[in-house]
């Protein structure tokens, strides 16, 4: 179902639930994986994904159709991730690298994370990046989004995003070579 059709059906109280169910089915995987790559833990990702869709439900009536629906949902998911990570750092009074270390440990120990050594190393290298740069990298590298789309989601200029991505690639390559 196209986004426009979903939105039209959502505006009708009789077909609202059905339309929203379609929306969740359409975007759940993209949103879940976007969140999972940021927070690593499945349970946290599950909570945040549900939270994102509850927020989408509450605010979809006010959604301006001049923006794309999926970039709007991505923006909500991105904000949820950043808020979650910020709160995590505040809660434990830990500096950034300690949260990164905690998440890196999950990569080593969690039963629902598996891959060869270089793949796991790549994930650990990503955790060394600042959260926003990690978001840029994930959206460009894994989700293969255009810079313009990422710019719309993060509210950052395309030029700044290009620089951020190339710096991220450099840092990751350096980390893997060195470690």
Partner 1 sequence: MNKMKEDFKLDSLPKHNVYQVPEHYFDRLPTRVMERTTAAEKHIPAWQQGLWVSLRAVAAPLVLLLVFVGVFFFNVQDQDKDEFAAVQPLAEQEILDYLHYNEDLETADFAELSYLTKQEFTSDFLNISSTAAEAELEYYHIRNIEE
**Which residues contact partner 1 (rule: CB under 8 A)?**
17, 20-21, 24-25, 28-29, 32-33, 36-37, 40, 42, 46, 49-50, 53-54, 57-58, 107, 112-115, 117-120, 122-123, 141-142, 169, 172-173, 176-177, 179
Q: In this structure, are residues 83 and 90 in contact, taking their beta carbons and an 8 Å threshold?
A: no
Nearer to partner 1, 38 or 99 (CB): 38
CA distance 129 to 157: 19
Closest contact distance (angstroms) between CB of 177 and partner 1 is 5
CA distance 147 to 77: 18
CA distances from 165 to 8, 95, 172 (A): 37, 24, 11
Nearer to partner 1, 13 or 155 (CB): 13
Closest contact distance (angstroms) between CB of 95 and partner 1 is 25
Nearer to partner 1, 66 or 114 (CB): 114
If we measure between CA atoms, which residue out of 73, 76, 79, 98 comes closest to residue 88? 98
């Amino acid at each position: 179902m196209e986004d426009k059709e979903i939105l039209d059906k959502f505006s009708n109280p009789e077909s609202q639930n059905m339309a929203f169910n379609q929306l969740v089915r359409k975007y759940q995987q993209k949103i879940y994986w976007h969140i999972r790559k940021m927070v690593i833990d499945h349970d946290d990702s599950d909570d945040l994904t549900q939270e994102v869709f509850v927020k989408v439900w509450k605010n979809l009536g006010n959604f301006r159709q001049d923006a794309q629906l999926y970039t709007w949902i991505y923006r909500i998911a991105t904000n949820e991730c950043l808020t979650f990570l910020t709160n995590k750092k505040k809660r434990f009074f830990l500096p950034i690298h300690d949260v990164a270390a905690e998440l890196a440990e999950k990569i080593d120990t969690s039963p629902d994370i598996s891959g060869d050594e270089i793949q796991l190393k790549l994930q650990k290298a990503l955790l060394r990046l600042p959260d926003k740069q990690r978001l840029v990298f994930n959206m460009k590298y894994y989700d293969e989004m255009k810079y313009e789309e990422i710019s719309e989601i993060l509210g950052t200029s395309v030029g700044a995003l290009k620089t951020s991505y190339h710096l991220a690639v450099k840092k990751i390559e350096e980390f893997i070579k060195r470690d």
